[in-house]
Structure 1
């Protein structure tokens, strides 16, 4: 039987970050403006490290390459990245490429389709989610004119909301929001607008308008969202999205809930509560802010306690 793989990961300093990852999850954050925690990552720009067990100290990318039998995947690289983001200020308005464009223009990098689960949101918090341009020419003209209020679509958010953000979607987290993001393992972002703010050295951050216009979907297409909810004994499983990029679910457990062995590796993030994972006669304490991977051949398992988890897999 394969043990669960608990991970310790990398914090990223961001101009828009803050202290909420410490306040909400108890993390020992390294920066005044801590914006991101790459909780489950094999991306070269921030890799997770195995905390314990037979693979202790290994980078997740190393584990992926040296022990493919743990994952049962046809992907050549670990294809997903799970992040927590603290938007203590507005993020830049941005857009991400698809696989084909990123492969051609970003040295073979994956594209970036992502999704957000809103962990916390201050009253009045909003995201930018899409745009109002009907043609590429109109998009270019509105960007050139700085006509942001007419171009960008704002959506109010609250804790518990979920948003699917395919590549080609102009988007931005607004101030006062904490999200768990599941995405393709990519670090390619094209900035469209950054509020003319300056970094700590007094420089405005680079924009990438040509590439952004190239990859933006016009007109904006919104996919209808319908969640699938299934009740199990002492638990509820909500499937937010399931497609060729990823499946993302929320598991609410209150008591002892049993789950069958997964056919593929499963990424698990505890976003609230505490309890324990029981598997193959062993118990592992779980607390808010823990992240782990269940490899294949782990066997059936139980979650016991009062827990909320975001679950993802290919």
Structure 2
């Protein structure tokens, strides 16, 4: 949000669909990651394709004049009610900027840590040889490249381009074959899975902090 915008001005602008009057536009490039804390007014588009990972929640507030589920138009009363609910939860001091992520390289694998916080982390993996990895919480894989094979417990599953696969924590270990590029989302152990490996790779605390909410202050 722009500085100095109070709730009355914000509500009037949202009802007029004059978003530029109260919000900043931020240029977006392919590969950018935005960590958006809860309570921050934001929108994407037009002509922007995003991959979204978020905290588990059945609550969201929005200012658009249509239903999120099917795009049908809201009544004026319901639209205004939604905006009032948004204003009650709004945190206008919040800001976010696009990040390019931090890289870790090992054994034919490049891990790009895109963002991280107490509720989720997102990584982009590029690998040139089979990757066997262990995990202790569920993982979501989304394939960005050519079809690849995911093997576990003697079973192999083909994952096509743009397809996603949920890996239950009970699996504990899988192998990815043979080369590929994918997104990997999970609830992290921040110190063990994010902070310690990045420090060991030489990244300073300021660079690591820019990934999102590493100390839980943006909750």
Aligned equivalent of 2:107, options 233, 236, 249: 233
Secondary structure at the aligned position of 2:20 is classed as: helix
CA distance in 1, matches of 2:63, 2:8: 11
2:64–2:79: 8 Å Cα contact kept in structure 1?
A: no
Q: Is contact 2:34-2:98 (8 Å) kept?
A: no
Instruction: Tell me which residue corresponds to 2:207.
Output: none
Q: Deviations over 1:87-136 (max 9, x none)?
A: xxxxxxxxxxxxxxxxxxxxxxxxxxxxxxxxxxxxxxxxxxxx10335x
State the Cα RMSD in Å: 2.8
Instruction: Decide whether the 8 Å contact of 1:250 with 1:311 is kept in 2.
Output: yes
Residue 140 of structure 1: aligned partner: 8
The equivalent residue for 2:128 is: 254
Give distance in 2, aligned partners of 1:200 and 1:263. 41
Q: Distance in 1 between matches of 2:159 and 2:98?
A: 34
For structure 1, the residue ranges without an aligned partner over 5 or more in a row are 1-130
Structure with the bigger percentage of strand: 1
1:217-249 residue CA offsets vs partner (Å, 9 max, x unmatched)? 123333795733111222211112222111221
Per-residue Cα deviation, 1:252-307 (whole angstroms, up to 9, x for no partner): 22332232x21222122223321111223332222113222222342433212342
Q: 1:201 to 1:155 in 2, by over 3 A?
A: closer
* 1-structure distance, mates of 2:37, 2:4: 18
Give the paired residue count.
178
User: 4+ runs of 1 displaced by more than 4 Å?
Assistant: 199-205, 223-226
Shift in CA distance, 149/212, structure 1 to aligned 2, threshold 3 Å: same
In structure 2, the residue matched to 1:271 is 144
Q: Is the 1:280–1:299 Cα contact (8 Å) retained in structure 2?
A: no
- What TM-score, normalized by structure 2, do the two folds share? 0.68
Report the TM-score, using the length of structure 1 for normalisation: 0.50
More helix per residue: 2
Query: How many angstroms does 1:167 deviate by?
Result: 0.8
SS class of match (1:211) = helix
Residue 175 in structure 1 maps to residue 46 in structure 2: yes
8 A Cα contact 1:133 1:139, kept in partner: no
Contact 2:40 2:92 in 1 (8 A): no
